[in-house]
Every structure is written in structure tokens, then in C-alpha cells.
Chains A and B, each alone.
Chain A
Amino acid sequence: MSVISCRHLTRRYVQRGIDPVVAVDAVDLDVEPGTFVAVEGPSGSGKTTLLGLLAGLEVADEGQVIVLGHDLAHLSGTDRARLRQRQVGIVFQSFGLIASLRAWENIALPLALAGVPAGERRRRSLAVLEEVDLNHAAEARIDELSGGERQRVGVARALVIEPAIILADEPTGSLDEGNAAGVLVLLTDAVRRRGASLVLVTHDPASAALADQRFRMRDGRLTAGVPA
């Protein structure tokens, strides 16, 4: 059974005085457990909107998204939040870290939101930090870390909840080549170790090349296969 299943998924943006923009246009997508799916496409092709729909951050205008057996259209905002809190990890291009928190506190944040006791939060966060080779930076402030280190913290935060699915939006887009490769390997290895599924949206063919399945997105439409 697919961990993610989309049927005829459509999202339009309506702005006054401008024709509606169809950001995601009748997308069908199935993600099987433990697979790595890459969605490639240029900027503005609708990749991030698609990821937002899969995460339940956006509401589809048409079609259906079923995540881990839950039809997102039938879940309340709180239930969608809890689904992300416990089973869906998200990695952002610009890291999405809270500047006022230390590295380990950022990682512990989803656990805090889920009501995990303070002691266990710290223990689990430090364990994941070790997995991403950042155990030395547990107490560091975010502005004391390099770009690569920040994204490792971002990956660790997605992993700490032991998710069934990880959604990654251009996770290497803000990094130099060396750091980008390192973070990507770290992410894919960690996902595979956990048997989780990974949906990666990227404009970088090299990153997409590591995926089990590759899709191409252009003008909101998703097509299977390697882009020409």
C-alpha cells in the first residue's frame, strides 16, 4: 500500500486582476514505503506547492491526497498538524531553524510539540545529532553554525521523530557543491536505515539521480521519467 497517493491533485492561485495560476495541475502520484522519489523541475514549476499539498500545508482545490491511509481533505487542521508532528519529517531549502534556539533545541522542537518529556527530548536529539556528525555542536547557536551544519541540524530535526515519510524541498539548494553532496548522502542513508520514504523536490539532476523513481514537473503537470 502506498504511503502517499495522489489522484487528480490540483491547486490554483487566484489573484485579483490576473488569470488564475494553476500551480499543480491534475497530478497523480504514488509513493511506496521505503522508496526515494525525486521530483525535478525548474523554478516556478509547482514543486514546492506539490510538497505543500503532500504535507497538508496547502489544501487542494480538486483531487485527493491520501497520506499513510489518511485522506487529508477529511482531516482537521489539528489532525494534519499531528500527522506531521509524528510521522512526516520536512527538510527545507533555507533550513527553517529557529534562531533563538540552540542546535539540539531545534532538533527537539517536534518532540516538544508532541509532548515528549524534556529528558527524553534531549536524549533523542543528541542521538540524532551524533548520527549527522554534529554531536560537538549540540549547544551551538544557529548563527554560529556553517550552512552545511545548519542543514544537518535541519535533517536531524526531520529524523528525530522517526518519520514514515520525509519531504525535502531543495535541501541542497543553499549549499555549496561539497556540502550539498554530503547532506544528500546523509539524508538518503538515514532514510534508508529507517525504511522511510523520501520525496525530494529539486532542480538538480545530480540529486535526483540518487532516487528510486524520478518525476518531472513543468507548469504544474507531473510526468514520469528522466527529463530530456
Chain B
Amino acid sequence: MNLVSHTFRLVLREPRRSLAALVGVTIAAALISSVLLFGTASGTTVTRRALAGLPVDAQVVLGPTSDANAALTIVRADPAVKAVTAFELAHFDSAARNSAGTATQTSVGVLIGLDPSYSATTGLFQTSAGSIAPGQVAISRDLASNLGAVPGNSLAFALPGGGSVTLTVSGIVSIAGADLLLGPIDAAHRAAGANSPVNVAVMSRADLEAQVLPRIPATATAADPARGSGATGGTAPVFTPDPAVRRELHIQLDHAQLPGDPVAAQTWLDTVRRRVEKQGAGSLQWVDDASASLEPLAADLAWGQILFVFLALPGILLALALSRLAADATADATRRHAALLRARGANRNQLRRIFMGATVVTAGVGSVLGVVLGTAIGLGLFGAELISAGPVEAILRAGGIAILLTTILASLSAVLPLRAQLREEIAAGRQELQRARAPLWQRLFLDVLALVAGVVVYVIAGGSGIHPVLNAEGNPTVTLALTSFLAPLLFWSGGTLLLLRLVGGVLRRSSWLAKALGRLLGAGGELAGRSLTARAVAASRAIVVLALAVSFATSVLVFDATYRQQQRIDAELTLGADLKAVPSSPATVADVAHLAGPGVGTATPFVDRVVYVGPEAQDLLAIDSAVLPGVAPLADSFFQGSTAAGAMRALQARPDAILVSAETAKDYSIVPGDRIRVRVPDASGVLKTVEFTMAGVALEFPTAPKDAFLVANLSYVAAQTGNDRISFVLARANGDAGSVASTVATRLGSGWQVTDLGTTTARIANSITSVDLSGLVLLDVAFAVSIAAVGVALFLLAGLSERRRELATLVAIGAESRQIRASLLGETLFVGIAGLATGLVIGGLVGLALLQILAGVFDPPAEVAAIPAGLLAAMTLVVIAALGAALALADRGLARLSVVAALRER
């Protein structure tokens, strides 16, 4: 007997059996490959977003004698370069302010020279008060705080080599996002995590060249702050000192040319570096800030891929479980063919080899079909990102993994029922009502043990999950505890087995089911109830598959909704509201009216001014406390000892009321009712002392920095300082914030810069949270619904297969078609209702457990899960429609039943 030819004959001559077996494997392989492709596509997204937020991709450092124009020509000629801006930096050893005979001094820092277009090109060094006036400097808030300096003060800077320069302060400048540019150039020093200077003074490049650079000797180097502060340095590493003066070209690259994969992107960046440095032939040094930003992404993405696969894991396992249902549904074909082969002389071992061979063949074919389907889905959903990432390699990798995994797992999951079926055939017939022994896992109580182990792991590893940390370069990266996956996995597997045990137990022991369905659907319903009880094992399997498919979809939807909710809250806290419009020229409260129009709900003015509490510079947020709560998200947790409404009422109760940060309240021992004196700049920038009454403590506030800030009434601040200029306007969008922002930006023209939540979310996200999960959610939910439909269809078809003679008998003794249909409907109803109800509940709970994985990513952390009622209702309706389709398929099978032929079967 040629086993191989019989194997292929079995696959081809039993198309119903082969097709049923193919379905589950195809779904599993399609899910695995499309999820892996999603991972690759998300790599592109993450790479793009990581670099999109980078103001400068590379610094080209010129040698002391290099020709700046020649270097500029070389750099501009490179096809990868999009924009080049000149930048100069001079270190200072100290800065000091003399006031009424009292000198205040601070340690090392940097003076920066910029071209007028630099801030517009890179978005860096924006002034938050005053301006960069000719011949003067705008200083960082830290330098202002350290020296107690305000616009108009003179500062003396001690320069390397012994020289000095005195400059007048004309404004306050933000140095946010400039860490990499201000830090040392030396690679080893960077890798060791050198801190960037916070004492920064910014002036025009022409002024720096005229007033500062001539006073610094060419050979001077920057003072090492570590040695300067008295560090012993016995075992401290010695780094190449930074030159006292750096002349640089800041490069922005054409990101459209970047490969999507972070590793490939780094290789591309390295190629660009080598090309430019070769052209420069020793006259310039390329410092690759983009590569430094991409460094942690590869590891983050590996973790991300684990998270994505983990989210899809229930779907993959369920799809493979369909192989088991498929084996049930086609048991008659298996037995028939086995009997035929035995009649032709096949022995037990040969039978097993032929059927197992056929199982492996169908699993292999199903895997390949699934990969084709998954690739088509992947290309359809994330085609653009995949093409950037190198589609051939991505598809081959995802396809290879999917084929290998599903072929092995599907073969294993189908072989077990096959062995049982062949045993029955060999025993010459099946028992319709088998008193089967409980499976091993039930006898060992593995379900209960898994749940207990899950609780233990959850408690021990509680709080672990994904946590953002800073790597050596100061980039946010992500650590993820593997144990955080273990608990949900144990819950899921233990819960599945427990559900299987409970449903099986209920079905076997209850007679109420036949009565209940009989009342609902007549004689057909009663038959359905009896059939469900008789096929308790198969029915409980179908219910469990449906419940888990629904729970899988539900958990993913709840996870995604909460994830989006937290992304939004995070972004709202940073941006302040749906929309933020910043005027480029002085604007007042009256200008808020300009925002009114279609798409904009409420709008409110907002003032963010650098003020001084004692010598310390803080942000004063001046608001309209009556309107702001309708625009900006104010959570109760933002306020200490009060609610959001209470805090706003406190502000409204007194014009001079002020909320202070917890740090300020502690540092100055202030309690509600205390008077506070704050120096606030008036319209001309002169600091004026304004008295406030402490009304409470704010821990967080929209747009506020983490540490020191104050919140007061805008009208009071404007009246006291005679300064009615506003910093920006916050607005609530009616509808999609992105499209409203575009409309508003068009309406306001170039005089306003309009930002919306979407762009803020992208900017503040770390590598994993920047991934848009909607593609993955769509995939997971679509596959879950398919699995639910196929699972129930296979259960119904298995019922038809197992009960061919029974149904034929019913028809022969006078059962009408509607009564047989009512029987199928009754079975579908029970399985559907039981599966959907338990699935929605379990899914909600698993969704909550999954949120623990992301504990720590969002600030503030998720307090309440978001329940996407509309999406859940839509998913439920789609599942019901899919069950309807499964019922129609079974009805078609019933219509094809040959009663006389079935009655003849023994």
C-alpha cells in the first residue's frame, strides 16, 4: 500500500473534510502573519515618529580652521539633506549678576549664536518672555532662576581662557528639546550619559561672533563640570574635553528616504555620514543625533512585537482550536474513509500514518493559504508602511514564522481527535452516548491550579508592566516585565478550562433546557434542547470557542478604548485642550473671538508667564476659571485636598486667589489663606510685585510643567500688571480635532499657530505608545468574529454529521422542515447567547487585566477603563449576523440530506 498516494487521495477525495480542516489553520496563519506584518509596519511608524520629533538629525562640527562655506556646499549637495542651518556655541565657565552690591554666580553653561531663521526651521529656542534683542541675550529659565535674573539685568560671563563678556538679558528662552545639541560632542562622553548644560544664553550668531568669540583663545577647552564641582574622579572616566567654541551646521534629512526598520534606518544614516565625512576629508565631523534616537527603538520594537502577538494570542489559539471542531464536524468522513481503507487491507498503523499525513498536508496547505490571506490583509491595511520597511523581507519573515508555527500546532491539535476517531473505527462503530472518562486536565484540576497560579503571579509581579525609563543617551525607552504576560496567560488558560468544565457540567445535568427551548420554538426547540444535552461535550466546546472569540474581541476593544482614552488625557494635559492657538504677534483677550466659527465649541484665553516667587522662576498660569473647565480636562486628582470644581470655585471666590504647586507650598510653608508676593512682568517686561491669596494646591494642570507653577485669575493678573497680553487660546473642538484644527488654522491665517491633540499625541508618545493600535484592533476583531462564525458553523455541521440518521428518522416520522430548522435555531440560540454573554463578561475582565501591562506608561495612569459601548454593540451584531450565516450554512447542509440514504447507514 502506497501511503503517500493514499494520503493525497484522502485529502482530495474528502473535500468536505479537507476544507473544514483548512479553515482553522488558514485563519490562524492569516492572523499570525498579519500581526507580524503589523509589527513591521509599526516599526516604520515608530521610526518616523521618533525622528519627526527630532529638531535636528545631525550636527556637522567644523574643525577650527575649516572653511564654513565649503562645508556648507558639501553638506547641501548631499541628496539625503533637506535643510542646513548654521549654529555656534561657546562655553562659559561661570555667569554672575551683581545687584545692589550682592553678587550671584552660577557654574558652567553655554552661549549660543543663532541665525534669525534657526528657531523657525528647528522649532528650538523659542522665547517665552521678551525676545533675543540685538546685542543682548535671552536666557534659559534655569539660568534666570539660578541668578535671579530678569529681563533688563546685566550678566557677566567668565569665558574659557580667562576672558569675560557682559551682556544684557532681553528675554527668557525655552531650551526644551535641545539636550542633544547642547551636550558634549565626544561619543564616549555622550554614551556615558553626560548631562546637557541648563545655564544657556541665546543671542544672534552675528553678536556671538562679534562680542564673544574674539575673547576666547583658539586652543581653549570647556571646563569639565564634574571636575569643577570637586568630584574626586579617582575612578571616573576621562573624556576628551569639548572645545570652548563649536561651529556647527545643523542638518535636517529627507525622512521620506529613510527605511522603516530602525536598524535599516541606522544603516542608512551611517551611509549618509560616511558619504559627507568622505567629501569633507577631515574638515568636518558628523554627529549622528538621529541614530542616537533610533538606538533604543529596535529593542522597544521587539517588546512591542511581543505585546502585539500577545494581544492576538487568544485569537491564534482559538483558530487552532477550530481544527478540533473541524475534526468533529468531519468525523463521519474520517470513519467512512478509514473503513474503506481497512476493507482494502490497511492495518492500524498504516491507517494512522495516512490520516496523520493528510492532517499535516492540510495544515501545510492551510498555512500557505493563511499566509497569502494575511499578507493581502497586511498590505491592504499597512501597505505604505510595509513598503518603506522592505516588503519582501517582511513578508518572507512573517510568512515563514506563520507557516512553521501553524503547521506544527494545527497538526498536533488535529491528531488527538483523529486518534480517538480511528480507535472508534477500529472498534467497529461509535457509541452515540459515550460515558467518556473526564479528560486528564479535569481530573488533575489544571483549570483551578492555573487560576490560582495566575493570582499568585499577579500579586507577586503586581505593578510590573511596561515602564518608560531614560537610556544612557537620555532617550525615553521602555522596559517590559515578562511576568506581566504570565498572569493574564494563566488567567486566560485557566478561565478557558474552567468555562469548559462548567458549561459541560451544566449541559449534562439539565433538563430545563429542552423545556425552555420547547416553549420558545415548539417541538423543534425541544429537540434542540435534547440534542444539546446529548452533545454536551461538543456544545460546550462550541460555547467556549464562541465565548473566547467574543472575549478576545471585547478585551482588545476595551484595551484599545482605554489606551486611546489615556493617550487623549495625556495629550490634553500637555496641550491643554482639543486645540491650542498661539498668536505670533501680541494678542489680547478680545482676540479669542477670532477662533469662533464652525467646529469650535468653547474657547478661552490662557496666559503662561514666567514669574518669580522669591528668586525662583515659575510659570504663572492665568485663566478664566469659569470657562476653562468646559474647555480643558480638569480631573479631581489634579488638586490636593479638593476637587476640580472646588478648586475652580476657590479661584472664583476671590479675584486674587492663587493655586500653588505642592512643591511651592512645601518649600515656602504656605497654607490656604496666606498672602503670597509674586513678581510678574508688566506690559513692558518690568517685574511688578503682585499680591495673591493662596487658595489651594494644584498637583497637575493643563499645559503646566511638572514641578513649579501657579494658577491665578487672568482678569486679576491683567489688572494688576496692566498687561493684558495672552499667551494662547485653548478651545474645545466639536468633532475631529485634527480637521477642526486645519479649518481654524486656515481661517486664522499665518498670524496663529494652531496645534491639535493628534499632533500632540504623536509628539509626546514614547516608542510603543506612538503606535496606532487601530490596525491591530481591526485585525483582531475581524478574526475573532470569523473564528466565532466558523466555530459555530462547525458545531452545527458536526451536529448534522453526527446526527444524520437521527435527522433522517425525524423527517421520516413526520418532522416538518421548519421543525428541523427550529431545532438548529434552538441550538444556535443557546450556543450564541451563552457564548456571547460569557464572552462579553470575560472579555471585559481580561481587558482590565491587560491594562496592568501598560501601568506606568500614561500620566496620569488609567483609573477607569473605557467601555466602547457602540463598538461592542456593533461587534455583537456582527457576531449575531455571523451566527446567522453559520445557521444558513447548516440549513443548506440539511436541505442536501438524503433521508433514505441516511436511513440505510448502519
Name A's B-contacting residues (CB within 8 A).
Answer: 48-49, 52, 55, 57-58, 77-78, 81-86, 88-90, 92, 94, 96-101, 109-110, 112-115, 141, 143, 157, 161, 169
**B442 / chain A contacts, CB cutoff of 8 Å:** none
Out of A78, A82, A96, A114, which one reaches B812, CB within 8 Å?
Answer: A96
Minimum C-beta distance from B801 to chain A (A): 15
**B816 / chain A contacts, CB cutoff of 8 Å:** 77-78, 81-82, 85, 113
Question: Is A113 in contact with B815, judged by CB distance below 8 angstroms?
Answer: yes
**B813 / chain A contacts, CB cutoff of 8 Å:** 84-85, 89-90, 96, 109-110, 113, 157
**B900 / chain A contacts, CB cutoff of 8 Å:** 48-49, 52, 57-58
Minimum C-beta distance from B456 to chain A (A): 42
Closest 9 CB pairs of A and B: A85-B814, A100-B534, A96-B809, A52-B900, A84-B814, A99-B432, A81-B816, A112-B523, A100-B530
**B806 / chain A contacts, CB cutoff of 8 Å:** 98-99
Closest residue to A77 on the B side, CB-wise? B817
What separation, in Å, do the CA atoms of A162 and B522 have in the docked complex? 22
B486-541 at interface with A (beta carbon < 8 Å)? 522-523, 526, 530-531, 533-534
Question: Is A92 in contact with B903, judged by CB distance below 8 angstroms?
Answer: yes
Minimum C-beta distance from A39 to chain B (A): 15
Let me know if B811 is at the binding interface, CB within 8 A. yes
Contact with A along B789-819 (1 / 0, CB 8 A): 0000000000000000110111111111111
**A115 / chain B contacts, CB cutoff of 8 Å:** 522-523
**B812 / chain A contacts, CB cutoff of 8 Å:** 55, 57, 84, 90, 92, 96
Question: Is B531 in contact with A100, judged by CB distance below 8 angstroms?
Answer: yes
Let me know if B899 is at the binding interface, CB within 8 A. yes
Out of B433, B522, B811, B906, which one reaches A99, CB within 8 Å?
Answer: B433
Let me know if B904 is at the binding interface, CB within 8 A. yes
Closest residue to A157 on the B side, CB-wise? B813
**A48 / chain B contacts, CB cutoff of 8 Å:** 900, 903-904
Question: Is B899 in contact with A57, judged by CB distance below 8 angstroms?
Answer: yes
Out of A55, A96, A157, which one reaches B805, CB within 8 Å?
Answer: A96
Minimum C-beta distance from A65 to chain B (A): 14
Main secondary structure of the interface of B (DSSP, over half): helix
Minimum C-beta distance from A59 to chain B (A): 11
Minimum C-beta distance from B826 to chain A (A): 14
Minimum C-beta distance from A117 to chain B (A): 12
Out of B526, B805, B817, which one reaches A112, CB within 8 Å?
Answer: B526
Known A-B contacts: A96-B805, A97-B809. Give 7 more (CB < 8 A).
A77-B816, A81-B817, A82-B816, A84-B813, A109-B810, A114-B814, A115-B523
**A86 / chain B contacts, CB cutoff of 8 Å:** 814
**B531 / chain A contacts, CB cutoff of 8 Å:** 100
What separation, in Å, do the CA atoms of A143 and B903 have in the docked complex? 19
Minimum C-beta distance from A158 to chain B (A): 8
What separation, in Å, do the CA atoms of A141 and B533 have in the docked complex? 14
**A109 / chain B contacts, CB cutoff of 8 Å:** 810, 813
Q: Can you list 15 residue pairs at the A/B interface with Cβ under 8 Å?
A: A48-B904, A57-B811, A58-B899, A78-B817, A81-B815, A82-B814, A83-B814, A89-B813, A96-B805, A97-B809, A99-B806, A100-B433, A109-B810, A110-B814, A115-B522
**A52 / chain B contacts, CB cutoff of 8 Å:** 899-900, 903
Please judge, given known A-B contacts A49-B900, A57-B899, A113-B523, whether A98 and B530 are in contact too, CB under 8 Å. yes
**A90 / chain B contacts, CB cutoff of 8 Å:** 812-813
Contact with A along B742-786 (1 / 0, CB 8 A): 000000000000000000000000000000000000000000000
**B530 / chain A contacts, CB cutoff of 8 Å:** 98, 100-101
Minimum C-beta distance from A148 to chain B (A): 18
Minimum C-beta distance from A169 to chain B (A): 8
What separation, in Å, do the CA atoms of A161 and B815 have in the docked complex? 13
What separation, in Å, do the CA atoms of A82 and B815 have in the docked complex? 8
Closest residue to B905 on the A side, CB-wise? A94
What separation, in Å, do the CA atoms of A110 and B814 have in the docked complex? 7
B592-641 at interface with A (beta carbon < 8 Å)? none
What separation, in Å, do the CA atoms of A112 and B819 have in the docked complex? 11
Minimum C-beta distance from B12 to chain A (A): 15
Minimum C-beta distance from B516 to chain A (A): 14
Please judge, given known A-B contacts A99-B433, A100-B533, A112-B526, whether A94 and B906 are in contact too, CB under 8 Å. yes
Minimum C-beta distance from A21 to chain B (A): 13
Most buried by A among B431, B531, B812: B812
**A78 / chain B contacts, CB cutoff of 8 Å:** 816-818
B178-216 at interface with A (beta carbon < 8 Å)? none
**A169 / chain B contacts, CB cutoff of 8 Å:** 903
Question: Is A143 in contact with B433, judged by CB distance below 8 angstroms?
Answer: yes
**B815 / chain A contacts, CB cutoff of 8 Å:** 81, 85, 113
What separation, in Å, do the CA atoms of A112 and B524 have in the docked complex? 9
Closest residue to B524 on the A side, CB-wise? A113
Question: Is A92 in contact with B433, judged by CB distance below 8 angstroms?
Answer: no
**A96 / chain B contacts, CB cutoff of 8 Å:** 805, 808-809, 812-813, 903
**B523 / chain A contacts, CB cutoff of 8 Å:** 112-113, 115
Question: Is A141 in contact with B433, judged by CB distance below 8 angstroms?
Answer: yes
Please judge, given known A-B contacts A49-B900, A99-B534, A100-B531, whether A81 and B906 are in contact too, CB under 8 Å. no
Minimum C-beta distance from A110 to chain B (A): 5
B296-321 at interface with A (beta carbon < 8 Å)? none
B426-452 at interface with A (beta carbon < 8 Å)? 431-433
Most buried by B among A88, A89, A94, A109: A109
Closest residue to A118 on the B side, CB-wise? B518
**A141 / chain B contacts, CB cutoff of 8 Å:** 433
**A88 / chain B contacts, CB cutoff of 8 Å:** 814
Minimum C-beta distance from B506 to chain A (A): 16
Minimum C-beta distance from B341 to chain A (A): 21
Contact with A along B888-906 (1 / 0, CB 8 A): 0000000000011001101
What separation, in Å, do the CA atoms of A86 and B813 have in the docked complex? 9
Minimum C-beta distance from B827 to chain A (A): 13
What separation, in Å, do the CA atoms of A99 and B809 have in the docked complex? 12
**A77 / chain B contacts, CB cutoff of 8 Å:** 816-817
Minimum C-beta distance from B296 to chain A (A): 62
**A99 / chain B contacts, CB cutoff of 8 Å:** 432-433, 534, 806
Minimum C-beta distance from B810 to chain A (A): 8
